Amino acid sequence: MRRFDPLYEKARKLAQSGRVEFLGNGVYNVVGDHGTYSVAEDHTGKLSCNCLGYLQKGRCSHVVAVEFMGKRRRRKPR
For 31-78, what is each residue's pLDDT tens digit?
999 999 999 999 999 999 999 999 999 999 999 999 998 865 543 444
Q: Which residues contact 77 (CB under 8 A, 6 or more apart)?
A: none
Least Cα distance to 5 among 73, 18, 74, 13 occurs for 13
Strand partners for 22: 28
CA distance 1 to 24: 37
Instruction: Flag whether pLDDT at 4 surpasses 80.
Output: no
Report CA-CA distances (Å) from 41 to 2, 7, 22, 27, 47. Answer: 28, 20, 11, 6, 4
Does the structure show a pLDDT above 80 at 23? yes
pLDDT at 3: 67
